[in-house]
Amino acid sequence: MTPKVYTKYGDEGETGLLYGGRVSKNDPRTEAYGIVDEAVSAIGLGRAHSSDKRVCEVALKLQKELFTVGAELATDASKFDTFSKHFAPVTAGMIEDLEITIDDLGETVELPPAFIIPGASPASAAFDLARSTLRTAERRVVGLRETGQMREASEVLRYLNRAADLLFMLARYQDRDLPAELLTGDA
């Protein structure tokens, strides 16, 4: 028998956190990891539209890491020790890896001298959508931090900031062979 996708536990507007506790679906924590999930889906759309092997590899790795971000956000700070037994939290090393990838992509991309308008290709448009979605997640995580709902040592905020930067470069790398006019809307 196929397991049911629906549980009915959320029918009253609450959802469960990892390792215990229920919160409103409107809770700032739920909002933060929900936005990260939106970005994961947008990255998947970009990956589906790209035929570039490097782009797809970078995108898939980022999607997997964003699941870690979502899991960390879905865990109450008081349950972090339990979380750490089952998942590797976001680390400074993960952020350094993002920076290395950004720099590697940047070496082969010449950015146009004007503001880039998303939409030069379906893949880059999806990556730009994911980037702007992660910027929203960043703002939600700042709110969590300001209200004491994030561990002080959490690297999630820095990771989201750098992941959004990576998505910007990934979109530009995807479109690296297109004329600058298509990237700036001046065509």
Two tokens, residue 128 = 């730009």
Judged by average pLDDT, the poorest of 14-18, 62-66, 70-74, 154-158 is 14-18
Higher pLDDT among residues 148 and 102, named by residue: 102
Over residues 90-140, the pLDDT tens digits come to 999 999 999 999 999 999 998 888 888 899 999 999 999 999 999 999 999
Two tokens, residue 111 = 């950015």
Q: Which among 169, 129, 101 is positioned nearest to 41, based on CA atoms? A: 129
**pLDDT the model gives residue 187:** 59
Mean pLDDT taken over the chain: 91
| φ/ψ bin of 147: left (φ > 0), alpha (ψ from -120 to 50), beta (otherwise) | alpha
**pLDDT the model gives residue 20:** 74
Instruction: Decide which of 3.20.20.70, 1.20.1200.10, 3.30.70.890, 1.10.1840.10 is the CATH code for 14-111+124-178.
Output: 1.20.1200.10
The answer on pLDDT for 13 being more than 80 is no
Q: How large is the C-alpha radius of gyration of the chain?
A: 18
* Whole-prediction pTM: 0.92
The angle subtended at Cα 181 by Cα 175 and Cα 182, nearest 5°, is: 45
Quickly list DSSP for 25-36: TTSHHHHHHHHH
| φ/ψ bin of 141: left (φ > 0), alpha (ψ from -120 to 50), beta (otherwise) | alpha
